[in-house]
């Protein structure tokens, strides 16, 4: 015994000499320097003259129980924290379909208090159209069938319709009753998880007893009486004490243990069940040992402990363990340094790694290189601040296959607020991510096909109009001019009319060239730009400056190239007609990293006020064409300062 406890031991012994019964706890060091925790009872035996003649000292080794209790407390705290950080709702229903237990996230999802959900039919939370199907799934689960995950439409307390995703499992409690555990994910809006279960009950009290063999006189301490739920003045007898033990195995074991202690001097230490005087069933730890005098057993002494709380915790931990083991979500627990201490079977199914392969390793073995560094930095910032992090990770399986997970990672803290574990609960959302990616690609492909169809239709229409102007209307005007020559009654009117007709013919010829896509579109774009300038320039003296950077005709589609041609054609035509410019600067830059083409058409003409609406359709046509390639148009101009049209087209 350590020196600092020796004086206390002597003091307790001296108190016992005054007739006081002492029940206390001491810690010893064995010869192997191991810590030994004991429960010591000092019981005075008083003669008829009220003098203490004998002091009975009962010593019980409770090291194992204390360590088990501490381990259970730690395990319970770990699992409670685990469920506290869960990002899914959980409810437990009986076979009749009544709700028996829900977690905070379940309440948060449905906006009910726990008391409001107690003994409520689970089907009452569903919309009427889903109730029959949900009831069938409920019955199938209890019949041992596996209906798989289900999606339901539900009604929150506030009347709002929500959609949930559920998984089901069945488990047995310690009484053999079947219950259904349902995990619920709000697929309308995810919420942070909250606390799942309350802390376990306080540790049970411990009492002691003594049996005098010669007289069969039995003594119970006050704590033993409390455990048996008998009055404080209750006088136990050996037979009636044994009758408290539950009939069957418990009663047989205690009888055999008492007999062996008396006849063979064997001690015992058992976990048994009793039925209290009030009819309550309890688990107890009953231990005893014989006191031998002159080779004969004269007394039996022992310790009696209510371990119902311990058994309840043990049963709850078993349920928690089953729920974690059977959870469809991957669950991982690490130490504060990030070394893996536990993974559930769903983790193995998802990642392809066995528990043995990852034990003691860092979760970075799952890194695919596709999750951004900023995501990991945010994750650790949250954890170091004691917060739960929710997000999406792109990981890699053992077979190098990529998969996506929706993860909730949280710190687990001890009573001092120190982080002792990290727990991660993750759902495989690969199918959802790939489906969204496929839908996006299909949408882009559809948009591209629509763009191509629109451009093709527009060009076809423009070509037909251009040909009609050139081949029909222009010919009619030419015929009118020819017939005009045969009617020269008024020489001045004739010349004016002839000039008007010639201007009309020139304008229609120019318009027809603008509308019909020239064959040079199959040539290089720089040559095509020269063609535009030549066709539109007329008598105007304008210098055109070109700059083409990193542009290869073979790197862009026919429709995109044609769109660039039309945009430049429209704006050059606008400049010749309205700008009175001396110079035109045309720039085409292909930004490969940005996956776009930047076009700039700038002049040094008269400019205009961009705040005022223009009556022309040229700029409107440019905006329309840019929108076909998800592009944008910026116009920079002011009176007297020329104009610059900037167009960005996505490739």
469 burial type by CB count under 10 A (0-12 exposed, 13-18 middle, 19+ buried): buried
Average pLDDT, the chain: 80
Q: What is the mean pLDDT of residues 390-399?
A: 92
CATH number of 331-428: 3.30.450.20
Does residue 549 carry a pLDDT above 90? no
Phi-psi region of 104 (alpha: psi -120 to 50; beta: other; left: phi over 0): alpha
**Which of 134-143, 190-199, 461-470 bottoms out in mean pLDDT, i.e. has the lowest?**
190-199
CATH topology of domain 88-186: Beta-Lactamase (3.30.450)
Q: Strand pairing of 296-306 and 206-212?
A: antiparallel
**Which of 361-365, 428-432, 471-475 bottoms out in mean pLDDT, i.e. has the lowest?**
471-475
Q: How far is CA 517 from CA 82, 187, 466, 534, 548, in A?
A: 68, 52, 9, 15, 22
pLDDT per residue as tens digits for the range 343-355? 888 899 999 999 8
Distance, in Å, from the CA atom of 363 to the CA atom of 358, rounded to the nearest integer, reads: 8
Distance, in Å, from the CA atom of 628 to the CA atom of 623, rounded to the nearest integer, reads: 9
**Which of 17-21, 242-246, 541-545, 603-607 bottoms out in mean pLDDT, i.e. has the lowest?**
17-21
Tokens 């201490």, residue located: 341
Q: What percent of the chain has pLDDT over 90?
A: 27
Domain 1-61 matches domain 521-651 at the CATH topology level: no
- pLDDT band at 251; cut points 50, 70, 90: very high
Distance, in Å, from the CA atom of 265 to the CA atom of 150, rounded to the nearest integer, reads: 62
Q: Strand pairing of 217-220 and 206-212?
A: antiparallel
Contacts of 359 (CB under 8 A, 6+ apart): 340, 341
The pLDDT score that the predictor gives to residue 646 is: 94
CATH topology of domain 521-651: Heat Shock Protein 90 (3.30.565)
List the domain boundaries for the chain. 1-61, 88-186, 331-428, 430-516, 521-651
More confident residue, 313 or 366: 366
Does residue 257 carry a pLDDT above 80? yes
Does residue 520 carry a pLDDT above 80? no
The pLDDT score that the predictor gives to residue 193 is: 35
Tokens representing residue 127 in the block: 């919309």
Does residue 189 carry a pLDDT above 70? no
For 31-40, which contacts have Cβ atoms below 8 Å and span 24 or more sequence positions?
35/63, 36/61, 36/63, 37/61, 37/62, 37/63, 37/66, 38/62, 38/63, 39/206, 39/208, 39/303, 40/12
Half-sphere exposure of residue 82: CA atoms within 13 angstroms, side-chain side: 26
Does residue 626 carry a pLDDT above 90? no
Q: Strand pairing of 583-591 and 543-549?
A: parallel
More confident residue, 525 or 395: 395
Q: Find out whether 300 and 294 touch, Cβ atoms under 8 Å.
A: no
Pick the most confident of 109-118, 230-239, 246-255, 574-583: 246-255
Its pTM stands at 0.34
Nearest partner of 59 among 229, 354, 289, 252, judged by Cα:
289
Q: What is the mean pLDDT of residues 158-169?
A: 89
The pLDDT score that the predictor gives to residue 465 is: 57
Does residue 448 carry a pLDDT above 70? no
More confident residue, 513 or 650: 650
CATH superfamily, domain at 1-61: PAS domain (3.30.450.20)
Does residue 497 carry a pLDDT above 70? no
Nearest partner of 166 among 145, 186, 180, judged by Cα:
186
Q: Find out whether 382 and 389 touch, Cβ atoms under 8 Å.
A: yes
pLDDT per residue as tens digits for the range 86-142? 678 888 899 888 998 888 888 888 999 988 988 889 899 999 999 999 999 999 988
Distance, in Å, from the CA atom of 393 to the CA atom of 435, rounded to the nearest integer, reads: 17
For 406, the enclosing helix (H) or strand (E) is: strand 402-413
The pLDDT score that the predictor gives to residue 195 is: 36
């Amino acid at each position: 015994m350590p020196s600092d406890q020796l004086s206390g031991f002597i003091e307790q012994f001296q108190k016992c000499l005054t007739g006081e019964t002492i029940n206390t706890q001491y810690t010893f060091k064995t010869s192997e320097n191991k810590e030994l925790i004991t429960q010591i009872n000092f019981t005075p035996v008083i003669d008829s003259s009220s003098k203490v003649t004998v002091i009975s000292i009962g010593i019980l080794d409770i090291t194992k129980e204390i360590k088990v209790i501490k381990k259970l407390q730690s395990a319970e705290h770990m699992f409670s924290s685990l469920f506290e950080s869960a990002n899914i709702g959980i409810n437990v229903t009986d076979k009749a379909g009544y709700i028996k237990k829900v977690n905070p996230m379940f309440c948060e999802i449905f906006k009910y208090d726990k008391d409001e959900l107690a003994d409520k039919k689970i089907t009452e939370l569903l919309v009427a159209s889903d109730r029959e199907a949900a009831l069938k799934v409920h019955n199938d689960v209890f019949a041992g069938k596996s209906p798989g995950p289900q999606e339901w439409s539900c009604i929150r307390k506030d009347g709002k319709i929500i959609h949930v995703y559920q998984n089901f499992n069945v488990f047995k409690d310690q009484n053999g009753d079947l219950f259904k555990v349902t995990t619920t994910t709000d697929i309308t809006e995810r919420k942070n998880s909250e606390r799942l279960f309350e802390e376990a009950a306080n540790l049970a009290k411990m009492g002691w007893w003594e049996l005098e063999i010669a007289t069969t006189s039995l003594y119970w301490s006050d704590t033993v009486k409390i455990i048996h739920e008998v009055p404080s003045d209750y006088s136990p007898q050996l037979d009636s004490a044994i009758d408290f033990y539950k009939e069957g195995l418990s009663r047989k074991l205690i009888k055999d243990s008492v007999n062996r202690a008396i006849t063979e001097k064997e001690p015992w230490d058992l976990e048994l069940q009793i039925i209290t005087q009030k009819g309550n069933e309890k688990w107890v730890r009953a231990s005893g040992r014989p006191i031998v005098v002159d080779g004969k057993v004269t007394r039996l002494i022992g310790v009696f402990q209510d371990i119902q709380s311990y058994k309840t915790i043990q049963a709850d931990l078993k349920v928690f363990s089953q729920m974690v083991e059977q959870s469809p979500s991957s669950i991982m627990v690490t130490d504060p340094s990030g070394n893996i201490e536990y993974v559930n079977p769903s983790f193995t199914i998802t990642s392809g790694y066995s528990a043995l392969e990852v034990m003691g390793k860092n979760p970075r073995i799952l890194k695919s290189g596709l999750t951004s560094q900023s995501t990991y930095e945010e994750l650790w910032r949250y954890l170091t601040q004691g917060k739960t992090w929710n997000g999406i990770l792109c990981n890699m399986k053992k077979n190098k296959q990529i998969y996506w997970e929706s993860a909730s990672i949280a710190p687990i803290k001890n009573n001092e607020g120190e982080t002792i574990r990290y727990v991660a609960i993750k759902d495989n959302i690969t199918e959802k991510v790939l489906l969204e990616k496929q839908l996006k690609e299909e949408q882009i492909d559809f948009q591209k096909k629509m763009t191509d169809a629109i451009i093709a239709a527009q060009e076809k229409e423009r070509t037909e109009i251009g040909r009609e102007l050139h081949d029909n209307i222009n010919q009619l005007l030419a015929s009118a001019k020819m017939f005009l020559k045969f009617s020269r009654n008024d020489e001045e009117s004739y010349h004016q009319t002839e000039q008007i007709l010639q201007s009309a013919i020139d304008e229609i010829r120019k318009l027809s060239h603008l509308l019909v896509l020239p064959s040079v579109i199959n040539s290089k774009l720089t040559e095509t730009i020269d063609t535009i300038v030549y066709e539109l320039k007329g008598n105007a003296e304008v210098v055109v400056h070109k700059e083409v950077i990193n542009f290869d005709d073979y790197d862009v589609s026919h429709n995109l190239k044609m769109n660039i041609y039309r945009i430049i054609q429209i704006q050059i035509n606008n400049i010749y007609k309205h700008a009175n410019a001396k110079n035109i600067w045309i720039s085409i830059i292909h930004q490969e990293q940005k996956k776009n083409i930047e076009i700039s058409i700038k002049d040094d003409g008269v400019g205009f006020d961009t705040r005022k609406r223009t009556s022309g359709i040229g700029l409107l046509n440019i905006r329309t064409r840019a929108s076909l390639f998800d592009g944008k148009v910026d116009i920079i101009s002011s009176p007297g300062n020329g104009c610059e049209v900037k167009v960005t087209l996505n490739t």
